[in-house]
Amino acid sequence: MGVLGRGGFGVVYRARHITIDREVAVKVDTRIILDDRDQRRFLREVRAAGRLSGHPHVVEIHDAGVLPDARPYLVMELCPGGSLADRVPMPPGEVAEIGQRIADALAAAHDLGVLHRDIKPGNILVKRYGTVGLADFGLAALVEAGRDSSVTLAALTPAYAAPEAFHLHPPTPQSDVYALTATLYTLIAGFPPRFPREGELSVPEIVRRHDTPVLDLPGVSPEFMAILRRGLAKDPAHRYPEAAALRADLSQLTVGGLAGPRHAVTSAVTTVAIPSTPAPSTPTPPPPSALSAPPSSGSSPPPRKPSWRRRPALLAAAALATVLVLLAVGWFVLDGLQPDQRAADRSTSPTSAPTSSPPNADVFGVRTTSEGCPAARVKGGEAACTRRAECWSGMFVVQGEVQNIRTLPCEQGHPFETFAIAVVPGDVADPYQDVLEAHPVVKKVCAKEVLVASRFGDALEIAPERWEVSVLPPTPGDREQGRDNVYRCLGSITDVNSVAGSAFRPRN
C-alpha cells in the first residue's frame, strides 16, 4: 500500500482488494464527521452516488465507510493515468470532447439527485483504458457536514466554485455546471477563468472578479467561447439550466471552422422528451413495464399486451355483473339509514376509503382521487392518490428543504414515482423532510405497507423488500404556487437506477 497523492482534504492510497486480486485507490478524508446524523447522510449520499458506477465516465466506487477516528473513506477504481490537472493546457477540440463526456456523467448524476459540488481538473481522472471519469462523488456531501458558513467556505475550491457559493447559497445543478465550465476553460488556458496565472486571491477579490467579463482564449472558436461564457454566467438564471443542456451544445460543437452550436447564448436547451399525443383514431398503447429500462433516444420499445386482455371476456362480464349487484344492494341498505347513521358509520371506519372527495387540485396542484387509493384510508391523513402517474428526477435536499427536483414523463427513465399525496399535518410548522419523516401521521401515510398496496400491473411482480419510501416535502414549484402545505410519498426500487413506466397509477 503506497501513497498516490495528497490534497487539501485527504490522502489517496494505492491498495489491493485481496478477495478478487484487484488494485484499487483508497481516499481517506482528513475531515471528521462525529455526528451520527452526518455520518448517515454521508453514507446515504455515497450509496446514491454508487448508482452511477456503471456510467462509463464516472470513477467507480467499490466501498465506503467511516474509520474509528471518524474520518470518512472511499474505495474507488484505480485510475493509473492520473488527473487532467497534470495535462494542461490541452487542445480545444480534445477539451470539447472531454466536456461532453463529463457533462453526460453529470446529467446522469443530477437525474439521480446527486450533486458533485467539487468539479475541477484534479477530479477528472484518466481510467485504465484511456477514457476520462469524474471522481469524488460522495465526499462532496461533507461540504455541509458542519452546517455553518466557515465549513462551507473552507470546503470550496475557490477557482471553480460558482459565484453564489460565496454568498452561502445552497448548491444546485447550475453550480455544478459552472464548475464544469470553469474546468473546461482551465484545461484550455492552463489557469482558471477570472483568476491570475499565479498567486492566490482573497474572497472579496474573488467575488469582485465574478463581475468581470470572460476573455477570449487564443485558438478557441467564437462558438466554443459562447458556450464557455454561458456556463460561466454570474447569474445562475443566465447559465445552462442543467448539465444535459451543456452537453447538448458541446455535442454540436466542431472546432475547426465548421458550424457551431445551434443553442449557444440563445435559449435554454430542453432535453426532456415530451411524449406525443396519439391521434384519436389510434388506440393508446399500454404503459411500459415498471421493470423496463429507459428507452433509447432512437426508438421506443414495442408495446406489450396488458395482462387483462388475455382474460376471457366471459370472466370480465361476470365480474361486472357481480359489482353491479353489490352496488345495488349497498345502495338500498344505505338508503335505509338515516343521514346521521351514515355519518357515524363513516367516522367509525378508519380503514375504509372515505366517501367524500379528496382535496381538489387547488390544494394539491394536481387532480387526485381516493378511489382505489390505500393512502386515502389512513385516518386523519388527508391523503389521496394522483389521478395520473407522477414521476420524478432525483431530488436535491439541503437541510431538509428540497432545492431542486423536476417531473419527468413516466415513459422516460426516472428514480421516483408518487404513490400518495397529502396535506402537511397541522402541528408541523416547518415542513422539512426530516421533520415530516418523524411525524406519526406521515409515517402512516408513507408507510411501506401503503406503498406495497398501491402497486399495480407489473410492479406487483417486484418483491416488497426491494421497494423504498422517500418523503418529498413541498417542492420549489409547490412553494411558488403557495402550496407549502403539501407533501408526497415517493416509491423507488433500491437496486435499480431508474425505471420506465408507471408502478402506482394507470394512466387514465
Q: Which residues contact 149 (CB under 8 A, 6 or more apart)?
A: 168
* CB-based contact 139:28 (threshold 8 Å): no
User: Which amino acids are annotated as binding site, given as ranges?
Assistant: 27
How far, in Å, are 304, 310, 412, 506 from residue 290 at the CA level?
12, 19, 11, 11
DSSP code per residue over 424-443: PPTT-SS--HHHHHH-HHHH
Question: 25 forms bridges with which residues in the sheet?
Answer: 14, 76
Does the annotation count 117 as an active-site position?
Answer: yes
User: Which amino acids are annotated as binding site for ATP, given as ranges?
Assistant: 27
Nearest C-alpha neighbor of 411 from the set 498, 283, 317, 315: 498
Residue 160 phi/psi, 5° resolution?
-120, -5
* CB-based contact 408:416 (threshold 8 Å): no
Residue 287 phi/psi, 5° resolution?
-65, 150
Q: Which residues contact 107 (CB under 8 A, 6 or more apart)?
A: 242, 243, 244, 247, 271
Q: What are the grid coordinates assigned to 445, written together?
A: 401515510
Nearest C-alpha neighbor of 47 from the set 499, 492, 501, 500: 492
Instruction: Estimate to the nearest angstrom the gap between the alpha carbon of 65 and the chain centroid.
Output: 23
Nearest C-alpha neighbor of 425 from the set 387, 390, 378, 460: 378
- For residue 193, cis peptide bond before it (omega within 30 degrees of 0): no
Residue written as cell 388527508? 382
- Which residue in 117, 194, 247, 488 is the catalytic one? 117
Q: How far apart are CA 30 and CA 104, in angstroms?
A: 30
Q: How far apart are CA 243 and CA 394, in angstroms?
A: 14
Q: How far apart are CA 62 and CA 64, in angstroms?
A: 7
Q: How far apart are CA 412 and CA 499, in angstroms?
A: 8
Within 51-91, residue ranges assigned H as helices are: none
Which residues are known to be catalytic? 117
